Amino acid sequence: MVIIVLPSAGYFFLRSSKTQTWLANIIAKEISENLNARFTLESVNLLFSKRAIFKNLLIEDQHGDTLLFAPELVIEIKSFKRKARKVVINKLCINNSILNFTTDSNNIINLKFIFKPENRKSEKLIPLSSGL
């Protein structure tokens, strides 16, 4: 009986939007600390059909300027290969959002710090590539 109840309880626990948001906020905090930039979200709903819906997603650059604010961001994942450290995104929908990409006097875009490992505090997070 325990063999059936525990996996079932875990499945329903992970399906809860509150649980997913709690876990996503832990990850967002780690990303914020790692990149030395603000990364927040109000809620997330991960559908096990390889779809994720983020509400009020905010990503700032290292100077506190908004890179992206999306009231709703929807990602459809085509494939996820953990060993290869690769996520292929099939569809990305961002409606009514703010995108603010700027370049400095050296012609370096404010988005670059996300992808450059030397600008990170640690190498705990693994960069993922997308199929866009």
Range of the domain at 61: 2-119
Residue 68 forms part of a structural domain: yes
Residue 72 forms part of a structural domain: yes
Residue 126 forms part of a structural domain: no
Q: What domain count does the chain have?
A: 1
Contact 43, 21 (CB under 8 A): yes
- The identity of residue 26, as a single letter, is I
Residue 61 CA to residue 99 CA, distance in Å, equals: 11
Residue 124 forms part of a structural domain: no
Compute the half-sphere exposure of residue 44: CA atoms within 13 Å on the CB side of its CA. 21
pLDDT tens by residue, 84-118 = 878 888 999 998 999 888 888 888 888 887 776 55
Residue 24 CA to residue 89 CA, distance in Å, equals: 18
pLDDT tens by residue, 2-59 = 566 556 555 555 667 788 888 888 888 888 888 888 989 999 888 877 888 999 999 9
pTM of the model: 0.68
Residue 78 CA to residue 87 CA, distance in Å, equals: 8
Residue 8 forms part of a structural domain: yes
Please classify residue 91 by burial: count the beta carbons closer than 10 Å to its beta carbon, then call 0-12 exposed, 13-18 middle and 19+ buried: exposed
Q: Give the per-residue pLDDT at 131.
A: 43
